[in-house]
Amino acid sequence: MPGRGGLQDPPSGRPGGRRTSSGPWWKTDARTDPWRDPSSPAGLGAPAVYDEDQQPGPVVVDAQGRRKLRLRDVSVRLTTLAVLALLLVGVVAGGVGWYLTRTADETPLYTPGTTLAQIDPGAPKETGSVAEIAAAVTPAVVSIEVRVGQAGATGSGVVIDGDNGYIVTNNHVISGAADVEGAEIRAVFSDGSGSSARIVGRDPASDVAVIKVEKPGLVTATLGRSEDVVVGDPVVAIGSPLGLAGTVTSGIVSALDRPVRLSGEGSDTNAVISAVQTDAPINPGNSGGALVDGSGALVGINTAIASTGAGGSIGLGFAIPVDTVKRIAEQLISTGSVTHATLGVNARSVTDGARDGALVLNVEQGSAAARAGIRDEDIIIAVGDETVRSSEELVVAVDAHAPGDEVTVEFVRGGGESQKVQATLDPA
């Protein structure tokens, strides 16, 4: 208000009552204390002045009254020494890591005498939820990236020996990088980490291949047994279809011992497999991935699909049985190659309306078939205990044996009665 100094009276116009010296918070000098007398004149004084030698600026304390250390209170010399020490530690650590990666020897590519463990025969199939199976198996399934020049491809793989870094996949997934200068194969794990891989061995006649990474301690898949798989069993497929890593689909085993001819485009794969058929959705990129049963045990390696031409899943997928995968993988890990048995004939499927078989188109000179007396135009209808209804089944029946095995071959000649001969199989 004009003409008056100090603080204004309250809006009511009536000043509040003054406290007396008898008040517990009132001192005798209160009437002259400008902080307590609203009628005292107000004014700004000079800023605080600090002694820069004794106390440069106000003291900052915490809730307990202890002085806080500020960055500007630390000497420049001490800060410089700390930074240099950190840089030195970083340089030394980086140099040691680089040296070790440059000088560390790669582990041997082959491990002779390798035997892959399988679950006990007749182990009960305690079916778990798809979520439980996926959580247990996904860490053992990898994405495989192949790069040859400017071209690239993807597939899947399954860790079968985590201590030594062995991963099984399909031959057609990695064959493009075989014996090609500058080609790269990389395995990417479920945690997002990756590692370069070397080809241990590959088998175009079964479409099985093994690669090796230098990353010990990987989660290893549990191998089941083909004899325990029955039609109707629930199964889960895990892989990287269309490059989508860690994809999980489920279904059932819809057929067993399905002869399927494989001939990968752009690959040297030329195989006939006795496949596990499943309706679990499988798409390009699932190749080499896991097909597991309700207990999470591996029962097959996904390798092919039936398609109407669009290239996607129509509910008919095929996997290489786990017993075949185990047998081939052990040979590849031990020696890098696989030896198959052969009868020494070329054949095609035929039927006369009553009986199906494999018509012999020609017999190779000096082959097991020639030594056993099999001729052109004979129709083979059985090998050992296996019935043969097509040329694909003939290949599967012979391949179930090892070179040197003696088998009984049953055939029909000239429309007459069937005959049986003994043939000692040759190495392919």
Q: Which helix (H) or strand (E) holds 135?
A: helix 130-137
**CA pair distance 364, 345, nearest whole angstrom:** 6
Catalytic pick from 206, 287, 390, 391? 287
Is residue 340 annotated as part of the catalytic site, yes or no? Answer: no
Q: Given 207, 233, 399, 426, which residue is catalytic?
A: 207
Closest CA to 36 of 28, 46, 47, 45: 28
The DSSP 8-state label assigned to residue 381 in this structure reads: E
**What's the token pair of residue 197?**
């891989």
Q: Both tokens of residue 228? A: 């325990």
Q: Among this protein's residues, is 287 annotated catalytic?
A: yes
Instruction: Choose among 255, 210, 20: nearest CA to 110.
Output: 210
> Does residue 184 contact residue 177 with C-beta atoms inside 8 Å?
yes
The encoded tokens of residue 251 equal 């279904």
Confirm if 348 and 380 have CB atoms less than 8 A apart: no
CA 96/CA 76 separation, integer angstroms: 31
Rounded distance, CA 136 to CA 13, Å? Answer: 81
* Closest residue by Cα to residue 173 from 301, 274, 277: 301
DSSP state of 414: T
d(CA 390, CA 261): 12
Q: Would the CA dihedral through 98, 99, 100, 105 be positive or negative? A: positive
Catalytic residue among 143, 161, 172, 391: 172
The rounded distance, in Å, linking the Cα atoms of 261 and 275 is 10
Q: Which residues are catalytic?
A: 172, 207, 287
